[in-house]
A and B are shown apart, each in its own frame.
Chain A
Amino acid sequence: MPALFPLEVIGAGAVSPAGCGVEFLLQPAALEVAPMPSLRPGAKHAYPTFRVPTAAAPLVRWSREPRLRRASPVSHFLVEAATQALAGHDRAALGRLGIATAFFTGAPAYSRRFFQGVLERGQGAASPALFPETVYNSPLSHTAAVLGVEGAAYALVGDESAWVEAMRTAAVWLARDEVDTVLVLAAEELDIVCVEAYAVAGWFRHSPNPFIPAEGAAALLVRRPQGEAPRQIRALAPTCSYRDRKGAERAARKCLANFDPALPVAPTAQGTWLDAIERDATADRPHLAPGPSLGQAFVASAGWHTLRALFGPGTGEVLVPVFGQNQAISALQLRAA
């Protein structure tokens, strides 16, 4: 059985509040905060969010795609990011293509609309058009259909650590000769029901670095290295689960102890309670300059951080912390060109 790593990165894509394309992650224009009105009856307050500009041409084209006509925004983000990652490749030359996708909230917009409709209009008014789009793997299914993928395709669910598990899944499939190339994807859409939940969790109250929920997608196209492989996923940390703040601190130390202490860290702080834990756990390591904040889009953010480390100005080996909000701590070691 071949070794699981390294993997060669041969394509990338991103959809973020900064725009459609990896280049927008690297040098984003100043983002506008989009207030999202509370769902509570009579409420006058709104929450700050960073939204994807859905009127942008690359995304608008997907609303005309027959398979995606009824799909939720997260499906559009996912297909767009995946398509960017495949751009310039001869699809046939990629061989058997698999898709491993990570989600934190799945498709909350349609889930909320479906159940709110039931609550407001009765069970008999439940919408058959909305329900199929509420299922975790519906965005994955649309993406596979649009790209003509008929092989391996997983929807993985979890916090940011699910991005690392998607990468691990890709490595396992490649080692098992299940596929020749894998799209590793992550996507997140914003809906007010999630934002209300973040408010209930107190996330808007934390830290001087404000928490701003965001949405979007990230994509990496990977394969087993063939010749010179300038960009690589070198290693994944064993994921360390935690149950509380102290446990997260322990998990962070344990997780990062797997990596060379001289490895520079690409900081990923996003205005959450994990910022301090990341800062403490990486205090003894050299740090790259942090990128401008694009808000917190959970698994998609984990993808954006990975893309920034791979395609940003830095070169050589880099450690990317992937600290999950409510489940596990993990990290990736990359080689940037």
Chain B
Amino acid sequence: MRLPMHPPLDHPDRLPVITGIGCVTPLGATLGETWPRLLRGEDAAGPVTVFDVSGARCKMAAECVLPPWPDLSPKALSRLSRASRLLLPAARDALTQAGLLGARAPSIDGIALSISTTAGAMGWGEDFLRRVLAGARTGLLETIGRQQPQQQILDLQIALGFDAGSVCILGNACASGANALGHAADLLWSGAAEMVLTGGFEALTELVYLGFDCLQASSTDRCRPFDLARSGLLMGEGAAMFVLETASSARRRGVEPLAVLAGYGHSTDGHHLTQPSPDGRALVTAMRRGAERAGLAPADVGYVNAHGTATPMNDGTEVAAYRSFFGDELLPQARVSSTKAVIGHTLGAAGAIEAAFAIQALRTGKLPPQMQTRAPIPEIAASLVPAGLPVVSGLRSTASVNLGFGGSNAALFFRPFSDFT
């Protein structure tokens, strides 16, 4: 069945299609490893090992096992930040799937980048301050010189052997990963680019961990999204990268699109620096804008990968937004889950990783279950995806939504490429 098309979709050559996805999450070094474990509801939470948390309130996080990078010597590998160790494999896998890496692959010199992070290699910044305060004089440049996010982007270019074109690094807090993908689509729609390597990455760092800890935004219990007794988030880390290109570029290259990023909406909530407006109106604006651009009505949205941090403020706001977007009549039929319950909140990577899950859901009809939630908020209870849900056939679209510190809100809507052929 063909869905109605919003005017921007009438430029079929510039349609933003996804032709490659790479993912590193606490559940696996690839999307192929992560996805079945996510569907089984496996849990990546465990004690924090990457830095000392003995003085912190919380002690748990969802850590990644760093993927091997056989092409690099151990010495070269040791020069990469943890953030780069997550970003690089995700980007490599996305480019490989899109047919853009390898002996016969076309050059990707000049490819635009639209990439999100909130902290870059903050761990090295922490180390720099610690050592300067201790009076250290040597060995400082190796770390501080490669702490800023643009240095991970340079690591990426060196490791994969290309020179990027325009580089947009988005630091819009926890909505940033979705913003990066949406911006990539905007670059394609507007003619500013033909192909974009996009996504987000985040490594666990002590500063950020302690920040959420001291705000009491992270939980000493489990992360229970949309639960009446929710008490906070689980910190996580990871990366997801995508090749996004115009439909005409994919056609020229003979590459089969995996999905279409059909709609993107974003908005700003001025209510408070760290708390969303309780009525969720900024998220509703982002969702309506994105759905409209995708040519979708709320009833067409078959699955929403929710932000669902399990903080008291966020989840209440999000439920209010879903009630407004779907309407009380439709909401019980909507299917929603927050995968942060098992992979944690990956901050600048969250919007990208969760977009990868939304695309997988669209492609397979399998929906990630809502784990850890015991007593759901009544208004959303019927919408939460139960474990063991049979494959949903004929999903017409899926969405991924994110909210962030500072009032950033973003919504992405995906549709099958077959809708446009």
Contact = CB atoms under 8 A, between A and B. Distances in A.
Interface stretch (B94-102, B125-133, B380-388): B125-133
Nearest to A162: B169
A132 B273 contact: yes
B192 A128 contact: no
Interface in B139-166: 140-141, 144-145, 148-151, 153-154, 157-158, 163-166
B297 interface: no
A158 B169 contact: yes
Contacts of A119: 129-130, 133
Interface string B6-23: 001001001000000000
Contact of A40 (B110, B132, B282): B132
A250 to B, nearest CB: 9
Contacts of B191: 1, 4, 175
B141 A172 contact: no
- Which of A4, A111, A241 has the most chain B CB within a 10 Å cutoff? A241
Nearest to A173: B186
A241 B117 CA distance: 19
A243 B118 CA distance: 22
Nearest to B179: A154
Contact of B133 (A41, A152, A154, A326): A41
Interface string B241-275: 00000000000000000000000001111100110
Contacts of A162: 169
B167 A161 contact: yes
B322 interface: no
A142 B274 CA distance: 11
B405 A144 contact: no
Interface in B85-136: 110, 117-118, 120, 125-126, 128-130, 132-135
B141 A326 contact: no
A4 B183 CA distance: 15
A149 B133 contact: no
A153 B408 contact: yes
A123 B169 contact: no
Contacts of A150: 267-270, 282, 285
A200 B236 CA distance: 32
A115 B129 contact: yes
Contact of B170 (A111, A142, A154, A176): A154
B330 interface: no
Interface in A147-174: 148-159, 161-162, 164-165, 168-169, 171-173
Contacts of B151: 326-327
A1 B11 contact: yes
Contact of A238 (B134, B144, B166): B166
27 contacts: A1-B189, A40-B135, A104-B148, A115-B129, A116-B133, A118-B210, A126-B210, A127-B214, A133-B273, A137-B173, A137-B176, A137-B405, A141-B273, A153-B407, A155-B172, A156-B169, A156-B170, A157-B120, A158-B148, A159-B150, A171-B192, A176-B189, A178-B186, A201-B144, A241-B153, A243-B157, A243-B158
Interface of B: 8, 11, 14, 53-57, 110, 117-118, 120, 125-126, 128-130, 132-135, 140-141, 144-145, 148-151, 153-154, 157-158, 163-173, 176, 179, 183, 186-187, 189-192, 206-207, 210-216, 266-270, 273-274, 282, 285, 404-408
B215 A128 contact: yes
Nearest to B348: A136
Contacts of A141: 268, 270, 273, 405-408
A309 B252 CA distance: 42
A176 B186 contact: yes
B190 A1 contact: yes
B215 A132 contact: yes
B163 A241 contact: yes
A193 B322 CA distance: 43
A157 B149 contact: yes
B55 A1 contact: no
A11 interface: no
Nearest to A144: B268
B149 to A, nearest CB: 5
Contacts of B176: 137
Nearest to A98: B268
A138 B191 CA distance: 30
Given A175-B190, A193-B129, 20 more contacts: A1-B189, A41-B134, A116-B129, A123-B56, A123-B213, A135-B173, A136-B118, A137-B405, A140-B406, A141-B408, A152-B267, A154-B172, A157-B117, A157-B149, A158-B150, A193-B125, A196-B132, A197-B144, A241-B153, A243-B157
Given A122-B55, A124-B56, A327-B150, A168 B215 contact: no
Nearest to B158: A243
Contact of B148 (A137, A200, A326): A326
B407 A145 contact: yes
A241 B164 contact: yes
Given A140-B406, A150-B269, A239-B165, A327 B154 contact: yes
Contacts of A105: 148
Contact of B190 (A116, A118, A176): A176
Interface in A89-107: 103-106
Contact of B171 (A42, A106, A128): A106
Return the 4 tightest CB-CB contacts between A and B, nearest first.
A141-B406, A123-B55, A136-B171, A131-B211
A77 interface: no
Given A40-B135, A128-B215, A154-B183, A200 B53 contact: no
Given A137-B173, A176-B186, A328 B407 contact: no
A114 interface: yes
